[in-house]
Amino acid sequence: MTDPTLLTDTPVAPADTALVRGACPHDCPDTCGTLVEVVDGRAVGFRGDPDHPITDGWLCGKVRPYLEHVYHPDRLTTPLRRVGPKGAGQFAPISWDEAIGEIGDRWRGIIAEYGAEAILPYSYSGTLGLVQMAVSNGRFWNRLGASQLERAICGDAAQYAVERTLGARWAVPYADTAHSQAIFIWGHNPASTAPHFMPYLKDAQRRGCVVVVIDPKRTRTARTADWHVAPRPGTDGALALGLAHVIVNEGLHDEAWLAAHTVGWPELRARIADFPPQRVAAICGLPVEDVVRLARLYATHTPSLIKIADGLQRNPMGGQTTRAICALPALIGQYGMRGGGLAYSTSGYLQWDGAAINKWAECPPPGRVVNMNRLGAALLGEVSDPPIMSLYVFASNPAAIAPNAGLVAQGLMRDDLFTVVHELFLTDTADYADIVLPATSNLEQTDLHKAYGHTLLRYNHPAIPPLGQSLSNWDVMRRLAAEMGFAEPWLRQDAEAVIDEVLTATAARSPFLRDVTLARLKTEGQVALQIGPEAPFADGRFPTPSGQVELYSARLAAEGHDPLPNYSGVWDDGEPLPEREPEGNREQPSRRWRAVQGDEPLDLITPAAHHFVTSSFGNGRSQLRGEGAATVEIHPADAAARGIAHGDLVVVENGRGAVTLRAVVTDGVRPGVVAAAKGRWSKHGDGRGAPRNVNWTTSDALGDFAGQSTFHSNRVWLRKERD
């Protein structure tokens, strides 16, 4: 039996009437400061904090209707046990004691027969908090000896590439765009995915700064740019090397800077000789004049800033592509300059103390690693010895968001798989659960948030008591720990004690946390990391092994990668793209398809939806209204070749699966490319009412670095749906 008052980090008695500070927990670089107006224990108002410098008093359209999310009629309020067939989503309420007891019984049986590695926790970005994400991903599972999840679904290749090249993920603050003369937004759509960057961008543009967007799709951001360049998806590595070629050819590079601050310039110089503009233009599907003009524009504006995010690198060469892009600011000496260089992520400034988060020293050796992008295959036997016998999902919705969704569904249907899903809603994934546990929303839990778009920390005070019997991730971890007989004090602490411990341990080694205390965080709203006013790398030193920008990376060479930025058109092991498809994952559709004359494959990209955060808010009334029907954008020439008219239902298919979407015929995508936003819930039905979304077609092949997902490298065939 567990004592609920002992094991809850949320207030038992409702706050009466208050204005409560919080942080937006969603996967977004802006990490907004929020204010919750509470009357008689109920949240009645929700808005952006005017005192938060990035938020500036406004929230994006995804999160503005947050109270609809918190008080959604479909919120889960009790634990549930499956009563119907697997996957049917039929459940009956049970008590927490029954739920935790049953999980414990099943796990003890599985551990006795297969060992703890047969249990796989699967979580990702439902919340980005220190307690509810980082610590909840670590401690309990490490103590249990469960399998480790390789968290490579989002931006690992870029992260790896930036760290291998520059040594750290440090980035120019949004406000430094006040100094930029040119801003290149490359494979990134901040108007949707980093909305609080946009006012800075508009200000810069008003001042005369040139804004270029490089994206196969004319996104909301591209529409505001001075110039939109639309290369073929996955060819940006070639484009970057081609820009370097032109810059060097025309003598616009900075030899002195390269000599002083880089390793491998002679080698890179030899490499870029292979990328003359004519060749690059052909690879990228761009006019050769555009490649030359882009290079000149970049090299003749100082400071010039390149801003990237993660969409750019969700392809088989995402890592090398990011390396090639990282080389450009070095080529023209932009690193260390205010308003110049590279803006990728600020998350490297502060990394929470790993020992305090994970407690490895007091745990059994880490379990084997399972790549989250290979979930379907892993459940179906790719991972064996031991096989995965139990899956515990929290803060993620893999049935909707993981690639090759048909295979994921097949894996989740396994009768002998014991699946637990901790959620706010009966998502696509929860429908496959044996036990569903109700989760608190961000208004009902304690946490501390750091950001990846800026350097402000913000404490999230719980504003209202948990809805129904819902519990936070960490509260459930503590109950599971008690059930499994783990007596370690670090599995019993409340959320605030966890924050205090991790903060203290991190502050002991990070100068950026000087004077940052839990007390300040709780009372001051946001607290800034002590980075100082200088631009990143202003001292000309890079935290790489050589202390310089590693254009040539000995570490990558040692790891078996090409040590120079490259665009090879082949996988790391030499196979041509996109031939290397894992077994059971062929792209070729049926013969029926190939028989259709003129039916060439198209490249399907699946960018962020404007009104959802991946699948979060995919069940929100306001957000669904904003987003409209599930569509696929197709160029008029490609539509005409297939007899597809604007508004038609079209089948988007490949060998992995199919989804029916409404056609939007538009020159907003380049010929050969189709685009359908990520984030729809399959259970809401596609255009034909089939329980599928676009991930039924996406590939679970892994990219060049760090086990990266490759969502945007996906060949599909389109045809008009018969009426």
Ligand X SMILES: Nc1nc2c(c(=O)[nH]1)N[C@H]1C(S)=C(S)[C@@H](COP(=O)(O)OP(=O)(O)OC[C@H]3O[C@@H](n4cnc5c(=O)[nH]c(N)nc54)[C@H](O)[C@@H]3O)O[C@H]1N2
Q: Which residues bind Mo ion (CB under 5 A)?
A: 154
Work out how close the CB of 76 gets to ligand X at its nearest, in angstroms, rounded to a whole number: 9
Binding mask 49-88 for ligand X (x = CB under 6 A): -------------x--------------------------
Work out how close the CB of 27 gets to Mo ion at its nearest, in angstroms, rounded to a whole number: 5
For residue 576, the tally of other CB atoms under 10 A from its CB is 10
Q: Which residue has the tokens 């023209």?
A: 332
Instruction: Show contacts with ligand X in window 660-679 (CB under 6 A).
Output: 678-679
* Residue number, 58 or 486, with CB nearest to ligand SF4: 58
Work out how close the CB of 440 gets to ligand X at its nearest, in angstroms, rounded to a whole number: 6
Using the rule CB under 6 A, which residue among 615, 660, 699, 710 binds ligand X?
Answer: 615
CA 196, 202, 207, 210: dihedral to nearest 10 degrees? 110
| 373 touches ligand X by CB under 6 A | no
For 65, residues 6+ apart whose C-beta sits below 8 A from its C-beta are 620, 621, 622, 623
Provide φ and ψ at 25, rounded to 5°. -90, 0
* Residue number, 31 or 710, with CB nearest to ligand SF4: 31
Binding mask 398-417 for ligand X (x = CB under 6 A): ---x----------------
Beta bridge partners of 212: 184, 227
* Residue number, 154 or 701, with CB nearest to Mo ion: 154
* Residue number, 162 or 436, with CB nearest to Mo ion: 162
| 427 touches ligand X by CB under 6 A | yes
CA 410, 414, 419, 422: dihedral to nearest 10 degrees? 20
Instruction: Show contacts with ligand X in window 462-521 (CB under 6 A).
Output: 473
Q: Which residue has the tokens 């390789």?
A: 150
Beta bridge partners of 665: 634
For 27, residues 6+ apart whose C-beta sits below 8 A from its C-beta are 125, 128, 154, 613, 614
Phi/psi region, residue 295 (left: phi>0; alpha: psi -120 to 50; beta: rest), is alpha
Query: How far is Cα 528 from Cα 51, in angstroms, rounded to an integer?
Result: 13
Work out how close the CB of 698 gets to ligand SF4 at its nearest, in angstroms, rounded to a whole number: 23
| 34 touches ligand X by CB under 6 A | no
* Residue number, 125 or 142, with CB nearest to ligand X: 125
Give which of Mo ion, ligand X, ligand SF4, none residue 65 binds (C-beta under 5 to 8 Å, depending on kind).
none
Work out how close the CB of 181 gets to ligand X at its nearest, in angstroms, rounded to a whole number: 22
Instruction: Show contacts with ligand X in window 192-211 (CB under 6 A).
Output: 192-193
* Residue number, 55 or 304, with CB nearest to ligand SF4: 55
Give which of ligand X, Mo ion, ligand SF4, none residue 59 binds (C-beta under 5 to 8 Å, depending on kind).
ligand SF4
Query: How far is Cα 709 from Cα 585, in angstroms, rounded to an integer?
Result: 14
For 524, residues 6+ apart whose C-beta sits below 8 A from its C-beta are none
Query: How far is Cα 357 from Cα 506, in angstroms, rounded to an integer?
Result: 10
Work out how close the CB of 414 gets to ligand X at its nearest, in angstroms, rounded to a whole number: 20
For 713, residues 6+ apart whose C-beta sits below 8 A from its C-beta are 233, 234, 314, 315, 316, 577, 578, 603, 699, 701
* Residue number, 128 or 664, with CB nearest to Mo ion: 128
Phi/psi region, residue 460 (left: phi>0; alpha: psi -120 to 50; beta: rest), is beta
* Residue number, 400 or 484, with CB nearest to ligand X: 400
| 262 touches ligand X by CB under 6 A | no
AA identity, residue 263 = V
Work out how close the CB of 610 gets to ligand X at its nearest, in angstroms, rounded to a whole number: 5
Quick check: bond before 386 cis, omega within 30? yes
CA 108, 419, 708, 676: dihedral to nearest 10 degrees? -170
| 334 touches ligand X by CB under 6 A | no
Which residues are at the interface with ligand SF4 (CB under 6 A)? 24, 26, 28, 30-32, 59-60, 62-63, 195-196, 613
Using the rule CB under 6 A, which residue among 371, 510, 614, 699 binds ligand X?
Answer: 614
Give which of Mo ion, ligand X, ligand SF4, none residue 32 binds (C-beta under 5 to 8 Å, depending on kind).
ligand SF4
Give which of Mo ion, ligand X, ligand SF4, none residue 711 binds (C-beta under 5 to 8 Å, depending on kind).
ligand X
Give which of Mo ion, ligand SF4, ligand X, none residue 712 binds (C-beta under 5 to 8 Å, depending on kind).
ligand X
| 234 touches ligand X by CB under 6 A | yes
Give which of ligand SF4, Mo ion, ligand X, none residue 698 binds (C-beta under 5 to 8 Å, depending on kind).
ligand X
* Residue number, 96 or 124, with CB nearest to ligand X: 124
Residue 422's closest CA among 376, 477, 373?
477
Work out how close the CB of 425 gets to ligand X at its nearest, in angstroms, rounded to a whole number: 5
Q: Which residue has the tokens 């404490």?
A: 459
DSSP 75-131: ---S-EEE-SSTTS--EEE--HHHHHHHHHHHHHHHHHHH-GGGEEEEE-SS---II
Work out how close the CB of 310 gets to Mo ion at its nearest, in angstroms, rounded to a whole number: 6
Give which of ligand SF4, Mo ion, ligand X, none residue 173 binds (C-beta under 5 to 8 Å, depending on kind).
none
Give which of Mo ion, ligand X, ligand SF4, none residue 336 binds (C-beta under 5 to 8 Å, depending on kind).
none
| 312 touches ligand X by CB under 6 A | yes
CA 234, 126, 481, 369: dihedral to nearest 10 degrees? 0
Work out how close the CB of 154 gets to Mo ion at its nearest, in angstroms, rounded to a whole number: 3
AA identity, residue 21 = R
Phi/psi region, residue 87 (left: phi>0; alpha: psi -120 to 50; beta: rest), is left
| 314 touches ligand X by CB under 6 A | yes
Asked whether the beta carbons of 397 and 427 are under 8 A apart, the reply is yes
**404 exposure class (CB count in 10 Å sphere: 0-12, 13-18, 19+):** buried
Work out how close the CB of 350 gets to ligand SF4 at its nearest, in angstroms, rounded to a whole number: 17
| 310 touches ligand X by CB under 6 A | yes
* Residue number, 345 or 544, with CB nearest to ligand SF4: 345
Using the rule CB under 6 A, which residue among 610, 656, 683, 692 binds ligand X?
Answer: 610
- Kindly report the length of the chain: 723
Work out how close the CB of 403 gets to ligand X at its nearest, in angstroms, rounded to a whole number: 7
AA identity, residue 226 = D
**For residue 4, what is the DSSP state?**
T
Work out how close the CB of 228 gets to Mo ion at its nearest, in angstroms, rounded to a whole number: 23
Query: How far is Cα 263 from Cα 267, in angstroms, rounded to an integer?
Result: 9
Using the rule CB under 6 A, which residue among 320, 347, 446, 695 binds ligand X?
Answer: 695
Asked whether the beta carbons of 581 and 587 are under 8 A apart, the reply is yes
For residue 548, the tally of other CB atoms under 10 A from its CB is 20
Work out how close the CB of 347 gets to ligand SF4 at its nearest, in angstroms, rounded to a whole number: 14
Work out how close the CB of 582 gets to ligand SF4 at its nearest, in angstroms, rounded to a whole number: 33
Query: How far is Cα 340 from Cα 547, in angstroms, rounded to an integer?
Result: 20
Asked whether the beta carbons of 701 and 714 are under 8 A apart, the reply is no
Give which of Mo ion, ligand X, ligand SF4, none residue 24 binds (C-beta under 5 to 8 Å, depending on kind).
ligand SF4
- Strand 447-449 and strand 369-371: the pairing is unpaired
* Residue number, 311 or 536, with CB nearest to Mo ion: 311
Work out how close the CB of 221 gets to ligand SF4 at its nearest, in angstroms, rounded to a whole number: 14
Asked whether the beta carbons of 644 and 720 are under 8 A apart, the reply is yes
Query: How far is Cα 305 from Cα 177, in angstroms, rounded to an integer?
Result: 8
Contact positions toward ligand X, by CB under 6 A?
Answer: 27-28, 62, 124-127, 132, 153-155, 186-189, 192-193, 214-217, 219, 231, 233-234, 236, 309-312, 314-315, 394-397, 401, 422-425, 427, 439, 473, 605-610, 612-616, 678-679, 694-695, 698, 711-712
